[in-house]
């Protein structure tokens, strides 16, 4: 869920350790956002459910696979904190366990509504989560990147519907960025959407 507003959208990607999946999501999304010329409008960060790897760079295997696709993973692992739930508009977990843990950590109901799963934005609906690659071989890291490239493109697509429109003055809350309001406003304009909803 996301609060429609002027200014920046802030997205936090979350996985268990913040050394494989969420730093990769951060890098993939940053590149897409930059390529779309939206880096002034969308801010991206990542964090982990656990602080076990806090202060570490991303896993060298993940960095190496990502580098082959042109992504530089330069984030430093940190655990999710309460402030994140107030600070970010969207908090995106990689698997069901991340989602359950995030919901347990959320300080209020509004924060819970910000929590979504990465594969909700997938265009190729082959996986319902981004599998943990930590104990996998090379194919696990490649799969993470495949899934993230697909889902981040879907996420950007949804974000652009608002960011590229004139709807930013509206105070209306959207239940999900690709919901019926977004569909109608994209197809018929914000005024039509506001009249209907």
The set of catalytic residues is 15, 21, 132
- Which of 20, 27, 32, 44 lies at the binding interface for ligand 4NP (CB under 6 A)? 20
134 lines the binding site for ligand 4NP (CB under 6 A)? yes
Size, binding site for ligand 4NP by CB under 6 A:
10
**Burial class of residue 10 in the structure, from the number of CB atoms within 10 Å of its CB (0-12 exposed, 13-18 middle, 19+ buried):** middle
Q: Which stretch binds ligand 4NP (CB under 6 A): 15-23, 67-75, 84-92, 162-170?
A: 15-23
Helices (H), 36-173: 60-68, 82-87, 96-105, 109-113, 138-163
Q: Could you give the string, one character per residue 48-67, with x where binding to ligand 4NP holds by CB under 6 A and - elsewhere?
A: ----x---------------
132 lines the binding site for ligand 4NP (CB under 6 A)? yes
φ and ψ at 37, to 5 degrees? Answer: 70, 25
CA distances 174 to 107, 165, 167, 183, Å, are: 20, 15, 12, 12
Q: At what angle do helices 60-68 and 138-163 cross, to 10 degrees?
A: 60
- Which of 12, 19, 25, 73 lies at the binding interface for ligand 4NP (CB under 6 A)? 19
Q: In 3D, which of 107, 65, 98 has the Cα closest to residue 79?
A: 98
- Of residues 41 and 63, the one with the C-beta less far from ligand 4NP: 63
159 lines the binding site for ligand 4NP (CB under 6 A)? no
Least Å distance, CB 89 to ligand 4NP, is 22
Residues at the interface with ligand 4NP (CB under 6 A): 15-21, 52, 132, 134
């Amino acid at each position: 869920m996301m609060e429609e507003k002027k200014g920046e959208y802030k997205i936090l990607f979350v996985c268990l350790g913040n050394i494989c999946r969420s730093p990769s999501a951060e890098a993939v999304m940053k590149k897409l956002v930059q390529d779309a010329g939206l880096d002034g409008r969308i801010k991206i960060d990542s964090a982990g459910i656990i602080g076990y790897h806090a202060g570490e760079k991303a896993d060298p295997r993940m960095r190496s696979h990502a580098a082959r696709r042109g992504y530089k993973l330069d984030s430093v692992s940190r655990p999710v904190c309460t402030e994140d739930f107030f600070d970010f508009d969207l908090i995106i977990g990689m698997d069901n366990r991340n989602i359950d843990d995030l919901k347990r950590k959320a300080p209020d109901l509004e924060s819970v509504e910000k929590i979504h799963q990465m594969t909700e934005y997938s265009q190729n609906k082959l996986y319902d989560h981004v599998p943990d690659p930590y104990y996998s071989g090379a194919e696990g890291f490649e799969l993470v990147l495949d899934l993230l490239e697909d889902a981040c493109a879907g996420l950007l697509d949804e974000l652009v519907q608002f960011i590229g429109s004139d709807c930013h003055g509206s105070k209306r809350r959207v239940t999900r960025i690709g919901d019926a309001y977004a569909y109608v406003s994209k197809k018929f304009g914000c005024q039509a959407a506001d009249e209907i909803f």
